[in-house]
């Protein structure tokens, strides 16, 4: 199956499950979150609206100009978000939201967020590996590690060596 067919099939499957795809910058509370994140992270996360696709409950909030993004990028992102959709189903909206945002700390030591994102990034890595093998995965290694250790996700797990260990072990197993 070619990638555009795979992408369409994935989106259709999600929509059939009741998942909504919405443009992020058109939703007032997403603009509010964008502003709050800039304040809380002192500017370290200032690309929430433009660069980060976000899943809350059964809604996936897409970045502006989503369809202009490269197909491979859209496909990998959608697979990552599909994991979050699954997590919201598994845990329920409120427990998932509370765990993701607050436990044990909202910033700097967000163990639950780290575990939830780790599961989703593992899907990202599976997709990259399937399409481009080890080189494709190595190419995004630093970027992925930075997502965990920087302000991008509120310094959710600021331990680069631990994150790198998870990354390398997971990729070795692919």
Interface with Zn ion (CB under 5 A): 117, 120
**Six-digit token string for 44:** 């370290």
Q: Where are the alpha helices (DSSP H) in the chain?
A: 3-16, 28-40, 48-51, 71-91, 93-102, 111-139, 141-149, 160-172
Rounded to the nearest whole angstrom, what is the least distance from the CB of residue 1 to Zn ion in the complex? 25
Rounded to the nearest whole angstrom, what is the least distance from the CB of residue 60 to Zn ion in the complex? 11
The edge-to-edge listing of strands for the beta sheet with 20-23 is 20-23, 59-62, 54-56
The pair phi, psi for residue 167, each rounded to 5°, is: -60, -50
Coil vs helix vs strand at 45:
coil
**Six-digit token string for 139:** 């190419």
Nearest to Zn ion of 7, 113 (CB atom): 113
CB atoms within 10 A of CB 122: 18
Nearest to Zn ion of 77, 137 (CB atom): 77
Rounded to the nearest whole angstrom, what is the least distance from the CB of residue 117 to Zn ion in the complex? 5
Name the closest residue to Zn ion (Cβ): 120
Coil vs helix vs strand at 107:
coil
Rounded to the nearest whole angstrom, what is the least distance from the CB of residue 28 to Zn ion in the complex? 22
Nearest to Zn ion of 93, 133 (CB atom): 93
Nearest to Zn ion of 31, 118 (CB atom): 118
């Amino acid at each position: 199956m070619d990638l555009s067919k795979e992408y369409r099939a994935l989106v259709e499957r999600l929509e059939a499950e009741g998942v909504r795809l919405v443009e992020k910058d058109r939703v007032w509370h997403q603009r509010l979150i964008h502003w709050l994140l800039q304040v809380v992270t002192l500017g370290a996360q200032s690309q929430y609206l433009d660069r980060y696709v976000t899943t809350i409950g059964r809604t996936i909030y897409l970045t502006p100009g989503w369809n202009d993004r490269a197909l491979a990028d859209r496909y990998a992102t959608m697979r990552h978000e599909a994991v979050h959709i699954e997590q919201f189903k598994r845990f329920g909206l409120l427990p998932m939201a509370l765990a993701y945002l607050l436990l044990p700390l909202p910033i700097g030591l967000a163990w639950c967020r780290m575990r939830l994102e780790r599961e989703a990034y593992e899907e990202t890595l599976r997709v990259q590996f399937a399409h481009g093998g080890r080189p494709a995965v190595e190419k995004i290694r630093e970027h992925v590690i930075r997502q965990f250790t920087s302000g991008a996700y509120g310094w959710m797990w600021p331990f680069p060596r631990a994150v790198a260990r998870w990354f390398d072990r997971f990729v070795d197993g692919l």
